[in-house]
Structure 1
């Protein structure tokens, strides 16, 4: 009996030793790698419908007329135009091209408060301003057939966009401040190298068959001192994205700033809001370093105007 008990004790001790031996190495469980961080996707540019999609009904006739006015206002809105420009000189591809203030980028953003007018403007009122300033003419009255057609064209082009949300490409790009201040002499060199071929050595553009092919950039037939393009930052953003025509984004930012300064440092028709005093007009409507109205460049005071407003 004692021998049997002793055998059981020995067996138990042996089993205990086995159970407390050094643990065996266990292969680590492979972890699923975390997905690589991807660059944020850029929002897709809105694609307006093609001209061929303009409907053939009565509304479509207004849309088609609006497009004709936009391309050739000197013919289709002659009573309201005071220079040789067309709308698509600043809003390329009949107002369709992104980053050149396309119509489809503007229409969904109105009505809106504008610091320029110090009130809430409708889209029609915004169009009136284009005639007053960019076209150096006079505004069609509210409800005029010209405004109705242009607004119909913009509405048709913008269908499907959210209201009140600025879509990508809706205006002109906002360039960062230049490394060095814009300069007239450097800008003149850029103009001669990259711009004069189309706009002429004198900046007066080119015409063919009675129509302006390349717009005048200053002088009697260009936009007046009240237009948005007279602000150097606006001109620089437009030039950077779109010029030379067909070769946008090939100029450096500095070149775009310099040539925009050169363009805006030339005289043009008077601001229709002119108060009779250049300093007072600057204080009221051009109180920004981006405007050269009332500034002296190359010994010349800018803002005197070059032609009476029609």
Structure 2
């Protein structure tokens, strides 16, 4: 049985929150009202092996180290982490939970072409990006013990999955486009009602004995502007399927979009790919209606304050 402390560490990015927006960022035209059919279906998903079945040998030690890195990244991969997050904050239940980008759904899909860097990436290179963007740190060198352990953990968890076939529950849930443009004020209300209890009124999460148990959602200790969670569609899908923690699929689709907007409408560390100006960086890397980088919200252009957190 998992300890209460471990369960607390499984706490994750609930996502949301701040003031009114002037003007709203342009999003794709709303579709017809979403129905309950938009709730992710996970019944047929792949079941990863039980942790108790890890092999009791040297390879098993690497698998276990990968699990420890996943759940307490700042301790076991300290040299490469620049914020208060862990891998588990975005990949719940130590990377095992469907619709929270589980490792068993990711490992068999690489090597793969990524539009983010316009080339084919290995799984290890994909992990490097997580450290650079989501962890706001620096990429471990290829072959580093941290990457090897994380790869071993993901490989073991994915045994039995077909190569190159996206299984049910992989990645984040895909929501229909919102019936109304996401709104800051509505998102703030959802945040206060459903998210602030864990992530605090200021969105900075909670710590116990110096360890993060509920992650910060914006600010200096959160993910940076290059992370995938800064995209509204990723954030809304994650929130809908998993938040509030333990009560996934209880928010409406619109609530999920609104609170994702609220969360992503706050300042956070600069995109490491910054190119001379926010406008130029947006054009190069954030030219999508799902990104608020470079968009004016509440009279401030997001991204311009990243160096003054």
Higher normalized contact order (CA 8 Å, seq sep 6+, divided by chain length)? 2
1:283 corresponds to 2:283: yes
Q: How many Å apart are 1:304 and its aligned residue? A: 2.0
- SS where residue 237 of structure 2 aligns? helix
Q: Match for residue 193 of structure 2? A: 193
Q: Match for residue 230 of structure 1? A: 230
* Higher gyration radius (CA): 1
Q: Match for residue 265 of structure 1? A: 265
Q: Match for residue 138 of structure 2? A: 138
1:48 corresponds to 2:52: no
Q: Distance in 2 between matches of 1:124 and 1:283?
A: 28
Q: How many Å apart are 1:210 and its aligned residue? A: 1.4
1:207 corresponds to 2:190: no
Question: CA, structure 1 residues 308+134, in 2 after alignment: closer, same or farther (shift >3 Å)?
Answer: farther
Write out aligned runs for 1:59-78 (5 A): 59-78=59-78
Q: Distance in 2 between matches of 1:101 and 1:256?
A: 17
Q: Distance in 2 between matches of 1:185 and 1:247?
A: 23
Write out aligned runs for 1:140-219 (5 A): 140-219=140-219
- SS where residue 133 of structure 1 aligns? helix
Q: Which runs of 5+ in 1 are unaligned?
A: 1-40
Q: Distance in 2 between matches of 1:308 and 1:299?
A: 17
8 Å CA contact 1:85–1:222 kept in 2: the answer is yes
1:113 corresponds to 2:99: no
Q: Distance in 1 between matches of 2:195 and 2:288?
A: 26
8 Å CA contact 2:80–2:139 kept in 1: the answer is yes
Q: Which runs of 5+ in 2 are unaligned?
A: 1-40
Normalising by structure 1, we get a TM-score of 0.85
Question: CA, structure 1 residues 185+113, in 2 after alignment: closer, same or farther (shift >3 Å)?
Answer: same
Q: Distance in 2 between matches of 1:124 and 1:289?
A: 29
Aligned-residue Cα RMSD (Å) equals: 1.4
8 Å CA contact 1:204–1:217 kept in 2: the answer is yes
Q: Distance in 2 between matches of 1:305 and 1:72?
A: 29
Normalising by structure 2, we get a TM-score of 0.85
Structure 1 ranges of 4+ moved more than 4 A: none
Q: How many Å apart are 1:306 and its aligned residue? A: 3.4
Q: How many Å apart are 1:44 and its aligned residue? A: 1.6
Number of aligned residues: 269
Q: Distance in 1 between matches of 2:114 and 2:255?
A: 30
Q: Distance in 1 between matches of 2:42 and 2:153?
A: 28
Write out aligned runs for 1:29-44 (5 A): 44=44
Superimposed CA distance per residue, residues 61-86 of structure 1 (whole angstroms, 9 cap, x where no aligned partner): 00000000010110000000000000
- SS where residue 293 of structure 2 aligns? coil
Superimposed CA distance per residue, residues 127-177 of structure 1 (whole angstroms, 9 cap, x where no aligned partner): 000000000000000000000000000000000100000000001111000
8 Å CA contact 1:131–1:139 kept in 2: the answer is yes
8 Å CA contact 2:42–2:169 kept in 1: the answer is no
8 Å CA contact 1:270–1:308 kept in 2: the answer is no
Q: How many Å apart are 1:283 and its aligned residue? A: 0.3
